[in-house]
Structure 1
Protein backbone atom coordinates (compact mmCIF):
# COMPACT_ATOMS: atom_id res chain seq x y z
CA UNK A 1 0.00 0.00 0.00
CA UNK A 2 1.02 3.59 -0.65
CA UNK A 3 0.30 6.94 0.98
CA UNK A 4 -1.99 7.78 -1.94
CA UNK A 5 -3.98 4.56 -1.45
CA UNK A 6 -4.13 5.15 2.30
CA UNK A 7 -5.41 8.69 1.70
CA UNK A 8 -8.08 7.43 -0.72
CA UNK A 9 -9.23 4.82 1.81
CA UNK A 10 -9.36 7.40 4.62
CA UNK A 11 -11.39 9.70 2.35
CA UNK A 12 -13.91 6.94 1.71
CA UNK A 13 -14.18 6.18 5.42
CA UNK A 14 -14.70 9.85 6.30
CA UNK A 15 -17.25 10.22 3.50
CA UNK A 16 -19.52 8.02 5.61
CA UNK A 17 -20.35 11.18 7.55
CA UNK A 18 -19.89 13.85 4.86
CA UNK A 19 -18.99 14.04 1.18
CA UNK A 20 -15.35 14.77 0.33
CA UNK A 21 -14.63 17.42 -2.31
CA UNK A 22 -13.10 15.62 -5.28
CA UNK A 23 -11.03 18.57 -6.50
CA UNK A 24 -9.17 19.03 -3.22
CA UNK A 25 -8.78 15.30 -2.78
CA UNK A 26 -7.35 14.93 -6.28
CA UNK A 27 -4.70 17.56 -5.57
CA UNK A 28 -3.83 15.89 -2.26
CA UNK A 29 -3.58 12.49 -3.97
CA UNK A 30 -1.19 13.94 -6.56
CA UNK A 31 0.93 15.20 -3.67
CA UNK A 32 0.77 11.80 -1.99
CA UNK A 33 2.00 10.20 -5.19
CA UNK A 34 5.08 12.43 -5.08
CA UNK A 35 5.90 11.11 -1.61
CA UNK A 36 5.40 7.54 -2.82
CA UNK A 37 7.62 8.14 -5.85
CA UNK A 38 10.31 9.72 -3.68
CA UNK A 39 10.20 6.68 -1.41
CA UNK A 40 10.46 4.44 -4.48
CA UNK A 41 13.46 6.53 -5.61
CA UNK A 42 11.70 7.36 -8.84
CA UNK A 43 12.35 11.09 -8.40
CA UNK A 44 14.16 13.76 -6.41
CA UNK A 45 13.27 17.38 -5.80
CA UNK A 46 15.60 20.20 -6.84
CA UNK A 47 14.15 23.13 -4.95
CA UNK A 48 10.52 22.96 -6.15
CA UNK A 49 11.20 21.07 -9.39
CA UNK A 50 10.71 17.34 -9.93
CA UNK A 51 13.82 15.55 -11.24
CA UNK A 52 12.95 12.02 -12.39
CA UNK A 53 15.27 9.08 -11.87
CA UNK A 54 15.43 5.88 -13.87
CA UNK A 55 11.96 4.40 -13.89
CA UNK A 56 11.51 1.10 -12.06
CA UNK A 57 8.20 -0.76 -11.57
CA UNK A 58 6.53 -0.13 -8.21
CA UNK A 59 3.99 -2.99 -8.46
CA UNK A 60 1.26 -0.35 -8.18
CA UNK A 61 -0.64 0.49 -11.38
CA UNK A 62 -1.46 4.13 -10.62
CA UNK A 63 1.96 4.84 -9.18
CA UNK A 64 3.65 3.35 -12.25
CA UNK A 65 1.35 5.51 -14.35
CA UNK A 66 2.41 8.55 -12.33
CA UNK A 67 6.10 7.71 -12.78
CA UNK A 68 5.60 7.33 -16.52
CA UNK A 69 3.94 10.75 -16.62
CA UNK A 70 6.91 12.62 -15.13
CA UNK A 71 8.47 15.25 -17.38
CA UNK A 72 11.92 13.92 -18.21
CA UNK A 73 13.40 16.88 -20.09
CA UNK A 74 14.72 20.13 -18.70
CA UNK A 75 13.34 22.44 -17.55
CA UNK A 76 11.70 19.96 -15.23
CA UNK A 77 8.16 20.39 -14.00
CA UNK A 78 7.43 22.26 -10.79
CA UNK A 79 5.59 20.53 -7.97
CA UNK A 80 2.66 22.92 -8.41
CA UNK A 81 2.38 22.22 -12.13
CA UNK A 82 2.49 18.49 -11.42
CA UNK A 83 -0.34 18.75 -8.90
CA UNK A 84 -2.63 20.46 -11.39
CA UNK A 85 -1.72 18.20 -14.33
CA UNK A 86 -1.66 14.87 -12.51
CA UNK A 87 -4.49 15.73 -10.14
CA UNK A 88 -7.16 16.10 -12.79
CA UNK A 89 -9.77 13.41 -12.01
CA UNK A 90 -7.35 11.53 -9.75
CA UNK A 91 -9.82 10.94 -6.91
CA UNK A 92 -12.14 9.02 -9.22
CA UNK A 93 -9.17 7.06 -10.61
CA UNK A 94 -8.22 5.93 -7.10
CA UNK A 95 -11.78 4.96 -6.20
CA UNK A 96 -12.02 2.91 -9.39
CA UNK A 97 -8.62 1.31 -8.80
CA UNK A 98 -9.42 0.38 -5.20
CA UNK A 99 -12.59 -1.25 -6.46
CA UNK A 100 -10.67 -3.04 -9.23
CA UNK A 101 -8.30 -4.67 -6.75
CA UNK A 102 -11.10 -5.59 -4.38
CA UNK A 103 -10.50 -3.04 -1.62
CA UNK A 104 -13.92 -1.38 -1.85
CA UNK A 105 -17.49 -2.46 -2.20
CA UNK A 106 -20.15 -0.68 -4.20
CA UNK A 107 -23.85 -1.59 -4.37
CA UNK A 108 -24.95 -2.38 -7.90
CA UNK A 109 -26.49 0.31 -10.05
CA UNK A 110 -24.78 3.27 -8.35
CA UNK A 111 -21.87 5.10 -9.87
CA UNK A 112 -21.05 8.38 -8.13
CA UNK A 113 -17.74 7.88 -6.23
CA UNK A 114 -16.89 9.33 -2.81
CA UNK A 115 -20.44 8.96 -1.55
CA UNK A 116 -20.30 6.24 1.06
CA UNK A 117 -23.77 4.88 0.47
CA UNK A 118 -22.32 3.89 -2.91
CA UNK A 119 -18.63 3.15 -2.30
CA UNK A 120 -16.93 2.16 0.92
CA UNK A 121 -13.68 0.42 1.87
CA UNK A 122 -13.93 -3.31 2.34
CA UNK A 123 -12.62 -4.69 5.62
CA UNK A 124 -9.08 -5.70 4.72
CA UNK A 125 -5.46 -5.45 5.76
CA UNK A 126 -5.20 -2.35 3.56
CA UNK A 127 -8.05 -0.66 5.41
CA UNK A 128 -6.57 -1.55 8.79
CA UNK A 129 -3.20 -0.08 7.76
CA UNK A 130 -4.81 3.15 6.59
CA UNK A 131 -6.87 3.40 9.77
CA UNK A 132 -3.80 2.77 11.92
CA UNK A 133 -1.82 5.55 10.18
CA UNK A 134 -4.81 7.86 10.51
CA UNK A 135 -5.39 7.03 14.19
CA UNK A 136 -1.67 7.52 14.91
CA UNK A 137 -1.80 10.98 13.37
CA UNK A 138 0.94 10.21 10.84
CA UNK A 139 1.98 13.77 9.86
CA UNK A 140 2.20 13.52 6.07
CA UNK A 141 -1.07 11.59 5.76
CA UNK A 142 -2.98 13.85 8.13
CA UNK A 143 -1.63 17.04 6.52
CA UNK A 144 -2.61 15.85 3.04
CA UNK A 145 -6.02 14.81 4.38
CA UNK A 146 -6.50 18.22 6.01
CA UNK A 147 -5.74 19.89 2.67
CA UNK A 148 -8.53 17.78 1.17
CA UNK A 149 -10.90 18.91 3.93
CA UNK A 150 -10.61 15.73 5.97
CA UNK A 151 -9.87 16.10 9.68
CA UNK A 152 -7.89 18.86 11.35
CA UNK A 153 -4.51 20.30 10.38
CA UNK A 154 -1.81 18.57 12.48
CA UNK A 155 0.68 20.55 14.53
CA UNK A 156 3.30 22.07 12.22
CA UNK A 157 6.12 21.60 14.70
CA UNK A 158 6.16 17.84 14.17
CA UNK A 159 9.67 16.59 13.51
CA UNK A 160 8.58 14.76 10.35
CA UNK A 161 7.51 18.06 8.77
CA UNK A 162 10.89 19.76 9.05
CA UNK A 163 12.36 17.96 6.04
CA UNK A 164 12.69 20.38 3.10
CA UNK A 165 11.27 17.92 0.58
CA UNK A 166 8.25 17.18 2.76
CA UNK A 167 7.51 20.83 3.46
CA UNK A 168 7.92 21.76 -0.23
CA UNK A 169 5.34 19.21 -1.36
CA UNK A 170 2.90 19.91 1.47
CA UNK A 171 3.16 23.68 0.93
CA UNK A 172 2.47 23.24 -2.79
CA UNK A 173 -0.58 21.11 -2.04
CA UNK A 174 -1.87 23.73 0.39
CA UNK A 175 -1.32 26.53 -2.13
CA UNK A 176 -3.06 24.58 -4.91
CA UNK A 177 -6.08 23.89 -2.70
CA UNK A 178 -6.33 27.59 -1.82
CA UNK A 179 -6.06 28.50 -5.50
CA UNK A 180 -8.82 26.04 -6.34
CA UNK A 181 -11.09 27.63 -3.73
CA UNK A 182 -10.26 31.10 -5.07
CA UNK A 183 -11.21 29.99 -8.59
CA UNK A 184 -14.52 28.65 -7.30
CA UNK A 185 -15.24 31.91 -5.50
CA UNK A 186 -14.46 33.97 -8.61
CA UNK A 187 -16.77 31.79 -10.69
CA UNK A 188 -19.55 32.10 -8.11
CA UNK A 189 -19.20 35.89 -8.14
CA UNK A 190 -19.17 35.98 -11.95
CA UNK A 191 -22.21 33.71 -12.14
CA UNK A 192 -24.07 35.86 -9.61
CA UNK A 193 -23.19 39.02 -11.56
CA UNK A 194 -24.38 37.39 -14.79
CA UNK A 195 -27.67 36.41 -13.16
CA UNK A 196 -28.15 39.97 -11.89
CA UNK A 197 -27.60 41.34 -15.39
CA UNK A 198 -30.32 39.08 -16.79
CA UNK A 199 -32.71 40.03 -13.98
CA UNK A 200 -32.37 43.66 -15.13
CA UNK A 201 -33.91 42.89 -18.53
Structure 2
Protein backbone atom coordinates (compact mmCIF):
# COMPACT_ATOMS: atom_id res chain seq x y z
CA UNK A 1 0.00 0.00 0.00
CA UNK A 2 1.00 3.59 -0.54
CA UNK A 3 0.67 6.60 1.73
CA UNK A 4 -2.17 8.15 -0.36
CA UNK A 5 -4.17 4.92 -0.16
CA UNK A 6 -3.53 4.64 3.58
CA UNK A 7 -4.64 8.26 3.96
CA UNK A 8 -7.85 7.82 1.99
CA UNK A 9 -8.78 4.61 3.81
CA UNK A 10 -8.06 6.29 7.16
CA UNK A 11 -10.21 9.31 6.36
CA UNK A 12 -13.06 7.10 5.14
CA UNK A 13 -12.91 5.04 8.32
CA UNK A 14 -12.91 8.11 10.58
CA UNK A 15 -14.82 10.72 8.55
CA UNK A 16 -18.19 9.76 10.03
CA UNK A 17 -17.16 11.77 13.10
CA UNK A 18 -16.90 15.03 11.14
CA UNK A 19 -17.61 16.43 7.69
CA UNK A 20 -14.56 16.55 5.46
CA UNK A 21 -13.81 19.02 2.69
CA UNK A 22 -12.83 17.20 -0.49
CA UNK A 23 -10.46 20.00 -1.43
CA UNK A 24 -8.52 19.52 1.80
CA UNK A 25 -8.39 15.78 1.23
CA UNK A 26 -7.21 16.19 -2.36
CA UNK A 27 -4.37 18.47 -1.28
CA UNK A 28 -3.37 16.02 1.46
CA UNK A 29 -3.43 13.15 -1.05
CA UNK A 30 -1.15 15.10 -3.38
CA UNK A 31 1.22 15.66 -0.47
CA UNK A 32 1.11 11.94 0.34
CA UNK A 33 2.01 11.15 -3.26
CA UNK A 34 4.94 13.54 -3.14
CA UNK A 35 6.26 12.00 0.05
CA UNK A 36 6.14 8.53 -1.52
CA UNK A 37 7.88 9.87 -4.64
CA UNK A 38 10.63 11.31 -2.44
CA UNK A 39 11.01 7.97 -0.70
CA UNK A 40 11.18 6.20 -4.07
CA UNK A 41 13.79 8.75 -5.19
CA UNK A 42 11.64 9.65 -8.17
CA UNK A 43 12.04 13.30 -7.20
CA UNK A 44 14.32 15.42 -5.04
CA UNK A 45 13.96 18.88 -3.54
CA UNK A 46 16.15 21.81 -4.50
CA UNK A 47 15.02 24.41 -2.00
CA UNK A 48 11.25 24.12 -2.39
CA UNK A 49 11.36 23.07 -6.07
CA UNK A 50 10.75 19.55 -7.31
CA UNK A 51 13.51 18.08 -9.47
CA UNK A 52 12.49 14.76 -11.06
CA UNK A 53 15.00 11.94 -11.21
CA UNK A 54 15.58 9.72 -14.23
CA UNK A 55 12.14 8.60 -15.33
CA UNK A 56 11.29 5.04 -14.42
CA UNK A 57 7.95 3.34 -14.06
CA UNK A 58 6.64 2.97 -10.52
CA UNK A 59 4.72 -0.08 -9.34
CA UNK A 60 1.68 1.96 -8.32
CA UNK A 61 -0.34 3.45 -11.20
CA UNK A 62 -1.43 6.57 -9.32
CA UNK A 63 2.11 7.31 -8.17
CA UNK A 64 3.33 6.76 -11.70
CA UNK A 65 0.80 9.34 -12.91
CA UNK A 66 1.98 11.73 -10.19
CA UNK A 67 5.59 11.33 -11.27
CA UNK A 68 4.60 11.93 -14.89
CA UNK A 69 2.93 15.20 -13.92
CA UNK A 70 6.17 16.71 -12.60
CA UNK A 71 7.75 19.43 -14.70
CA UNK A 72 10.65 17.68 -16.41
CA UNK A 73 12.73 20.78 -17.19
CA UNK A 74 13.64 24.00 -15.42
CA UNK A 75 11.96 26.05 -14.16
CA UNK A 76 10.72 23.22 -11.97
CA UNK A 77 7.48 23.33 -9.99
CA UNK A 78 7.52 24.58 -6.45
CA UNK A 79 6.00 22.16 -3.96
CA UNK A 80 2.98 24.43 -3.46
CA UNK A 81 2.35 24.90 -7.18
CA UNK A 82 2.47 21.17 -7.80
CA UNK A 83 0.14 20.40 -4.88
CA UNK A 84 -2.53 22.71 -6.28
CA UNK A 85 -2.23 21.34 -9.81
CA UNK A 86 -2.02 17.66 -8.91
CA UNK A 87 -4.60 17.95 -6.14
CA UNK A 88 -7.43 19.05 -8.42
CA UNK A 89 -10.04 16.24 -8.23
CA UNK A 90 -7.52 13.82 -6.73
CA UNK A 91 -9.83 12.45 -4.02
CA UNK A 92 -12.31 11.33 -6.67
CA UNK A 93 -9.51 9.71 -8.68
CA UNK A 94 -8.34 7.72 -5.65
CA UNK A 95 -11.87 6.67 -4.78
CA UNK A 96 -12.26 5.32 -8.32
CA UNK A 97 -8.90 3.53 -8.07
CA UNK A 98 -9.77 1.87 -4.76
CA UNK A 99 -13.17 0.82 -6.10
CA UNK A 100 -11.56 -0.70 -9.19
CA UNK A 101 -9.20 -2.64 -6.92
CA UNK A 102 -12.11 -4.02 -4.89
CA UNK A 103 -11.27 -2.01 -1.77
CA UNK A 104 -14.64 -0.24 -1.86
CA UNK A 105 -18.21 -1.27 -2.53
CA UNK A 106 -21.38 0.65 -3.24
CA UNK A 107 -24.46 0.01 -1.12
CA UNK A 108 -27.94 1.39 -0.97
CA UNK A 109 -29.01 2.95 2.29
CA UNK A 110 -32.50 1.47 1.93
CA UNK A 111 -32.82 -1.52 -0.36
CA UNK A 112 -36.54 -1.03 -0.84
CA UNK A 113 -36.07 2.45 -2.37
CA UNK A 114 -35.39 1.92 -6.07
CA UNK A 115 -33.94 5.37 -6.66
CA UNK A 116 -32.07 5.72 -3.38
CA UNK A 117 -28.52 6.93 -4.11
CA UNK A 118 -25.74 4.51 -3.25
CA UNK A 119 -22.93 5.30 -0.88
CA UNK A 120 -19.36 4.01 -0.93
CA UNK A 121 -18.08 1.90 1.95
CA UNK A 122 -14.77 0.22 2.69
CA UNK A 123 -14.60 -3.55 2.55
CA UNK A 124 -12.77 -5.48 5.23
CA UNK A 125 -9.35 -6.10 3.73
CA UNK A 126 -5.65 -6.35 4.63
CA UNK A 127 -5.21 -2.85 3.16
CA UNK A 128 -7.82 -1.45 5.53
CA UNK A 129 -6.21 -3.13 8.51
CA UNK A 130 -2.77 -1.92 7.45
CA UNK A 131 -4.00 1.69 7.23
CA UNK A 132 -5.75 1.42 10.60
CA UNK A 133 -2.63 0.04 12.26
CA UNK A 134 -0.46 2.74 10.72
CA UNK A 135 -2.76 5.51 11.94
CA UNK A 136 -3.14 3.94 15.39
CA UNK A 137 0.64 3.84 15.74
CA UNK A 138 0.75 7.67 15.50
CA UNK A 139 3.13 7.46 12.55
CA UNK A 140 3.91 11.19 12.14
CA UNK A 141 3.59 11.49 8.34
CA UNK A 142 0.16 9.87 8.14
CA UNK A 143 -0.98 11.72 11.27
CA UNK A 144 0.04 15.09 9.80
CA UNK A 145 -1.62 14.37 6.45
CA UNK A 146 -4.80 13.16 8.15
CA UNK A 147 -4.86 16.33 10.24
CA UNK A 148 -4.58 18.41 7.08
CA UNK A 149 -7.49 16.47 5.60
CA UNK A 150 -9.57 17.20 8.71
CA UNK A 151 -9.08 14.04 10.78
CA UNK A 152 -7.82 14.01 14.35
CA UNK A 153 -7.02 17.31 16.02
CA UNK A 154 -6.90 19.25 12.75
CA UNK A 155 -4.10 21.57 11.74
CA UNK A 156 -1.73 22.84 14.38
CA UNK A 157 0.91 25.49 14.36
CA UNK A 158 3.61 22.99 15.35
CA UNK A 159 6.09 21.82 12.74
CA UNK A 160 5.62 18.17 11.75
CA UNK A 161 7.74 15.93 13.98
CA UNK A 162 9.60 14.17 11.18
CA UNK A 163 13.35 13.89 10.82
CA UNK A 164 13.50 14.10 7.03
CA UNK A 165 13.78 17.75 6.00
CA UNK A 166 12.26 17.19 2.55
CA UNK A 167 9.24 15.40 4.02
CA UNK A 168 8.80 18.19 6.59
CA UNK A 169 8.87 20.72 3.73
CA UNK A 170 6.09 18.86 1.92
CA UNK A 171 3.96 18.57 5.06
CA UNK A 172 4.36 22.28 5.77
CA UNK A 173 3.35 23.08 2.17
CA UNK A 174 0.25 20.91 2.51
CA UNK A 175 -0.72 22.74 5.69
CA UNK A 176 -0.19 26.12 4.01
CA UNK A 177 -2.30 25.08 1.01
CA UNK A 178 -5.14 23.85 3.21
CA UNK A 179 -5.10 27.11 5.18
CA UNK A 180 -5.16 29.11 1.93
CA UNK A 181 -8.11 27.03 0.73
CA UNK A 182 -10.00 27.64 3.97
CA UNK A 183 -9.30 31.37 3.74
CA UNK A 184 -10.68 31.37 0.20
CA UNK A 185 -13.83 29.56 1.37
CA UNK A 186 -14.34 32.13 4.11
CA UNK A 187 -13.82 35.01 1.67
CA UNK A 188 -16.41 33.58 -0.71
CA UNK A 189 -18.85 32.98 2.12
CA UNK A 190 -18.54 36.62 3.20
CA UNK A 191 -19.04 37.85 -0.37
CA UNK A 192 -22.08 35.61 -0.86
CA UNK A 193 -23.58 36.76 2.44
CA UNK A 194 -23.06 40.40 1.45
CA UNK A 195 -24.68 39.75 -1.94
CA UNK A 196 -27.68 38.10 -0.28
CA UNK A 197 -28.03 41.08 2.06
CA UNK A 198 -28.13 43.46 -0.90
CA UNK A 199 -30.98 41.53 -2.50
CA UNK A 200 -32.88 41.37 0.78
CA UNK A 201 -32.30 45.10 1.32
CA UNK A 202 -30.51 44.55 4.65
Normalised TM-score (structure 1): 0.90
Query: How much has 1:61 moved relative to structure 2?
Result: 1.4
Contact 1:142–1:153 (CA under 8 A) maintained in structure 2: no
Q: Hey, what's the Cα distance between the residues in 2 that align with 1:154 and 1:84?
A: 18
Give the corresponding residue for 1:68. Answer: 68
Q: Map 1:49-88 onto structure 2 (within 5 A).
A: 49-88=49-88
Structure 1 partner of 2:179: 178
Equivalences for 1:85-104 in 2 at 5 Å? 85-104=85-104
1:191 aligned partner = 192
The equivalent of 1:122 in structure 2 is 123
Measured after TM superposition, the shift of residue 153 of structure 1 is: 5.5
Superposition deviation, residue 157 in structure 1: 7.5
**Aligned partners of 1:169, 1:157: CA distance in 2, in Å?**
11
The offset of 1:17, in angstroms, is 3.1
8 Å CA contact retained: 1:12, 1:119: no
Q: Which residue of 2 aligns with 1:14?
A: 14
> Which stretches in structure 2 are left out of the alignment for 5+ residues?
109-115
Whole-angstrom CA distance in 1 between matches of 2:159 and 2:188: 36
Shift of 1:105: 1.5
2:46 paired residue number = 46
Residues 76 and 17 of structure 1, relative CA distance in 2, 3 Å threshold: same
Task: Give a deviation string over 1:130-157, Cα, whole Å, max 9, x none.
Answer: 0110000000000010011101269958
Q: Partner of 2:138: helix, strand, or coil?
A: coil
What is the root-mean-square deviation in Å for CA atoms of aligned residues? 1.9
CA contact (8 A) 1:147 1:173 kept: yes
Q: What SS does structure 1 have at the residue aligned with 2:173?
A: helix
For 1:73-117, what per-residue CA distance to the aligned partner results, in whole angstroms no more than 9, with x for missing partners? 101000000110000111111111100001111116746xxxxxx
Query: Gaps spanning 5+ residues in structure 1: where?
Result: 112-117
Q: Give the superposition deviation at 1:41.
A: 1.3
Contact 1:139 1:154 in 2 (8 A): no
| SS in structure 2 of the partner of residue 123 of structure 1 | coil
The superposition leaves residues 36-82 of structure 1 with CA deviations (integer Å, 9 ceiling, x where unpaired) of 11111110011110000112222211111111111111010000001
Q: TM-score w.r.t. structure 2 length?
A: 0.90
